[in-house]
Amino acid sequence: MPFQQWILLNIPTWGIAAIMLSIAVGTAVGGVLLVRHLVDIKKFKQHHDIAGPIFSTLGVIYAVMLAFVLVIVWQDFDRAQNNTVREANYFAQIYRDASLLPDPFRSQFLEANGNYLRAVIKYEWPQMQRGERSLEAQAEADKVWTVTAGFEPKTERDKIFFSEMLTKMNSAVELRRQRIQDAGSGLHPALWFVLLFGGFITVAFTFFFGSENLYAQLIMTTMLAVLIALIILTILLMDFPFSGDLSIPATPLQLILDHFWP
């Protein structure tokens, strides 16, 4: 399990936010005071004409990278959420197609699908918090396919609806694989290192400006550090879409189950 996912599972969102903001404020305030204690600010003023453009370039580079990662993570989170809705919609369509097929296949097939959805909600969703798939849900899925393989349509009408049903079943299976993949994959550790170390460098650069007003420099540096921490917090919370307090719920599948398999 990636360390980021472990954090989401073991620390509540408010706790993560409190820790990150505390580190950001402590680094900003402590860094400015430490540098002020060690070096005379008059020496910093001599290099403002060089430090200013360098800091502007550094800030733009880091801001672009931070925004790029945030957009990518948000898009992945939104895609995972939409895929969950699509997966639920496929089961609604599968139910309607199967309802037009003859018994005893219809009853056996619908019962197997209902059991599968219950297993996904009861077992697989909690296990996806840890980036794992459910063996119980997989066993129920295998039963669905076993029932499906035993049906042989005899009329043209049955063949049409059975073919449509198979197409939607395959699409639902594909979305499940993608859901499990999304549950266990996040940003690469190397990218996290760049985000965190880049944020520290950006904040630390402000320590070496010689502002006459110490409190103004402390406030500006702290605001910069807090903003960076909040953006990184947002990236962390959305990095694993099925883990943590902001995880995607199984509500779409539960609604379909309650409506068609009450």
State the Cα–Cα distance between residues 131 and 125, nearest whole angstrom.
10
Residue 51 has pLDDT above 70, yes or no: no
Q: Residue 32: which domain range?
A: 3-260
Residue 17 has pLDDT above 90, yes or no: yes
Residue 205 confidence class, pLDDT cut points 50, 70, 90: confident
pLDDT at 185: 84
pLDDT at 44: 66
Residue 199 has pLDDT above 70, yes or no: yes
Residue 77 confidence class, pLDDT cut points 50, 70, 90: very high
pLDDT at 57: 84
52 or 83: which leads in pLDDT: 83
State the Cα–Cα distance between residues 133 and 120, nearest whole angstrom.
9
In this predicted structure, which of 5-14, 169-178, 201-210 has the lowest mean pLDDT? 201-210
Across all residues in the chain, what is the average pLDDT?
A: 89
pLDDT at 103: 86
Number of domains in the chain: 1
The whole-model pTM stands at 0.86
Determine the average pLDDT of the residues in 9-15: 92
State the Cα–Cα distance between residues 23 and 229, nearest whole angstrom.
9
Residue 55 has pLDDT above 80, yes or no: no
Determine the average pLDDT of the residues in 23-30: 93
Residue 14 has pLDDT above 70, yes or no: yes
DSSP string of 197-261, one letter each residue: HHHHHHHHHGGG---S-HHHHHHHHHHHHHHHHHHHHHHHHHHSTTSSTTPPPSHHHHHHHHHH-
Residue 217 has pLDDT above 90, yes or no: no
pLDDT tens per residue, range 118-149: 999 999 999 999 988 899 999 999 999 999 98
